Amino acid sequence: MRKFFLLIISMMMLTVASAQFTITSSSEHLLLSDPQYNIDGIAIFNTIPLGTTLNYTGGGNFTWSYTVAGETFTSTQSSITPENGVLYKILINGTPTYFVYVIDYSNYPISCSHVETDIPVSDECLFSAINVFLNSTDITYIDRSNQVRNLPRYFRIEYTTAAWNGTAWEDSLAVSDAPVVNGKASFIVPAILQDCSVAAYGDSLAVLMGLSLDTCYGFFPAVAVQAHPVGTIIERDAKNEKDRSSSTSIQGSAPLVVQLKANPNPLPNPFVEWFVWNVNDSNAFLRFADETVNYTFNETGEYRAKVVVKTDKCQYTETLNIKTLESFLDVPNVFTPNDDGINDEFRVAYKSIREFKIWIYNRWGRLVYESSDPAKGWDGRINGKPASVGTYYYVINAYGEDKNDNGKRVHYKLSGDCNLLR
C-alpha cells in the first residue's frame, strides 16, 4: 500500500499540471487526483490559514463558480480563498470544465483506540493478521457529478520483523497500510518472524502531509518459523588430502566432519531437530535435538541431513545433501627436500582413507621411514640427517572408507620407487 500512496502523489503532480491548478498555503496540504475520485482534484489542508489560495493558471475565458451556505458565487480572478467543504468549478467559456473540492483535515480527526494481534488467520504460518481499532470520522466530498462520496482513509502500522541477510538474521522494519472500514483497519501481512511491538498511527493523509501523529501500540507474539540451514565442512590442515570442501556443495574426503547449523528465525524457544541418514538406508537415521550439530560422516556415500523447526502452531523443514567421496591414493615418484617450500616431503595424495601404513626403504633394504598417518610425509632425513640423493622404495597397505562390490573395504597394496633430488 505504501507504493500505492506514492503512485497517487506522482499521478497528482501530472494531473495538476494538465488541469492547471496550484495551491499557495503556509499549511501542510495535498492535491489528490485520480480517476477513481471522479473529480479533477481534492485539495486537503491541515488547516486553512489566512493567505491560503487555490489558483487557476490557465488562460482563456474562465470563471470560478462555487456555492457556500446556499449562495452561489463567481469570480474571474486567477486565485480564490478556499473554504472547507466547498466544491469549486472552473467554467471555460461558460462550460463547467474543472472541479476541485476543498477539505480541512483538522475537521475530521482520527485516533487509534487499540491494536489487536491475537486474530485467527487462514494460515498463520505464512501470514500475520493485525486489527487496529480507531476513533474516526468519515471524510466526504462532492464529485463532478454532484454525488457525495467517502474519501478512502488508510491507516498505517510499523513493526520490526526478522530478515535473513545471507549469513544471519537481522531486524527489518516493515510498513503496511490498510483502508479504514467502520472504524477499523485490518492488516494481513507476510508472517512476522519475531516477537515485536506494532506501532499504529495515521492516517495516510497525515503521513503524506508530515503531520505529528498519535501512536498506539500492541505486542505481536510471533509463531511462524523459518530456517536457513547451513552445512559447513570443518577443514583439516593436511595439504595432501584432496577434495576437502566445495564452494557449491557439501562434499569431500571422509571422514567428513560437517557442522550443521539450523539458523531458525529469532523466536524465544523454537524446537529444533536434525535427522541424518544414508540415502541407501533412510530408516536408519540419527536424531539430534540441537540447533548446531557437528557430525562425522565416515562411510563413503550420499547422505541427507534434515532440519525440523517447530513452534506450537508452525513447522519448517529443509534437507541438505551431503556426499563423502570414494577413496583415492596417488604416490609421487620424486620429491626435493631442499627447504624451498615446494615438494619438500614425500607425501601421498589421498581422500577417504580409513587405515594407512607406509614403509620406505633405501636401496640396501634398510627401513628409513614408516607412518600410519597419510597426512604426514617423509622429510628426506634419516636420524635427523639429510638422506642421500637417489632412489628409495615404498610399500603401502591401506583401506578406504568405501566398499567394493563384494561389500569389503577397498584395499590398496602399493609398492614402487621414488627419487630423492636436491
The domain segmentation of the chain, as residue ranges, is 2-106, 109-220, 230-324, 328-420
Q: What is the pLDDT of residue 48?
A: 95
Share of the chain above pLDDT 70, in %: 94
For 26-70, write each residue's pLDDT tens digit: 999 999 988 889 999 999 999 999 999 999 987 789 999 999 999
C-alpha cell at 291: 540447533
- What kind of fold does domain 230-324 have according to CATH? Immunoglobulin-like (2.60.40)
Distance CA 401, CA 275 (A): 22
First-residue to last-residue Cα distance in the chain: 75
Asked if 293 and 285 touch (Cβ cutoff 8 Å), the reply is no
Scan for cell 567428513, then name that residue. 256
Q: Provide CB contacts within 8 A for 375, sequence distance 6+.
A: 236, 238, 240, 241
Phi, psi of 241 (to 5 degrees): -85, 125
Distance of CA 53 to the CA centre of its chain: 47
Bridge partners (DSSP) of residue 219 are 197
Structurally, what CATH architecture does the domain formed by 328-420 represent?
Sandwich (2.60)
- What kind of fold does domain 109-220 have according to CATH? Immunoglobulin-like (2.60.40)
The dihedral formed by the CA atoms of 118, 123, 125 and 130, expressed in degrees to the nearest 10:
-30
For 138-197, write each residue's pLDDT tens digit: 999 999 999 999 999 999 999 999 999 999 999 999 999 999 999 999 999 999 999 999
Q: What is the pLDDT of residue 390?
A: 96
Q: What is the pLDDT of residue 7?
A: 36
Name the nearest CA neighbour of 394 among 328, 329, 343, 338: 329
Phi, psi of 205 (to 5 degrees): -65, -40
Stretch 376-396: mean pLDDT: 96
For 67-105, write each residue's pLDDT tens digit: 999 999 999 999 999 999 999 999 999 999 999 999 999
* Three-state secondary structure call for residue 105: helix
Is there a shared CATH topology between the 109-220 domain and the 328-420 domain?
A: yes
Average pLDDT over the chain, rounded to whole? 90
